[in-house]
Amino acid sequence: MSEISETNEPDQPPFALYNYEQFPEVKVTFHGTIKKENDFTWFTQQWIDLYVDQKEFNFLFDMKDIGLVNPLYSYKMASFISELKKHPVQYLTRSKIINVNRFMKYLLYIVFKFQSPVAPVEICCLDGSIINIDP
């Protein structure tokens, strides 16, 4: 993965921790909330770096420890997905989002209402429901 300069690194601990040990599965564990804009920028830059590597991958997003996220980031995420769709090749093959609480379920609804995903998504909620979203 590419290096990130110190000025672009998120506050510690990072909002989203990427783990590449099981590549092509990339596990992203969320902690707390987005404190500053560069937390979100760092999160999306790690995703873009996976595209730069030009290898297929899939995501496992774990939201067990996520805090309350400003709904504004739902719209930012939808915009980010829209930009990803402009890439000539989609390396993301699928995503699974686990431990989704009621609030995050609502925010994900907003994201995918405005922009469909680049690859199939399975959302596993704490209430036992499972939502599948196709591109």
Average pLDDT over residues 11-27: 87
Predicted confidence band of residue 14 (pLDDT cuts 50, 70, 90): confident
- What's residue 13's pLDDT? 59
On whether residue 105 sits in a domain, the answer given is: yes
Q: What is the DSSP string of 108-135?
A: HHHHHHHS--SS-EEEEETTS-EEEE--
**Rounded CA separation 1/47 (Å):** 10
**Rounded CA separation 46/118 (Å):** 16
Interior angle at CA 15, CA 27 and CA 47, nearest 5: 50
On whether residue 1 sits in a domain, the answer given is: no
**Rounded CA separation 131/123 (Å):** 5
Give me the CATH number covering residue 50. 3.30.750.24
More confident residue, 25 or 3: 25
- The CA-atom distances, in angstroms, between 95 and each of 26, 72, 80 are 9, 22, 15
Model pLDDT for residues 23-71, shown as the tens digit of each residue:
999 999 999 999 888 999 999 999 999 999 999 999 999 999 999 999 9
Highest mean pLDDT among 7-21, 31-45, 94-108 belongs to: 94-108
On whether residue 117 sits in a domain, the answer given is: yes
Give me the residue label for tokens 């590449």: 20
Residue 51: give the domain boundaries. Answer: 6-133
On whether residue 60 sits in a domain, the answer given is: yes
Question: What is the biggest distance separating any 2 CA atoms in the chain, rounded to whole angstroms?
Answer: 40
On whether residue 109 sits in a domain, the answer given is: yes
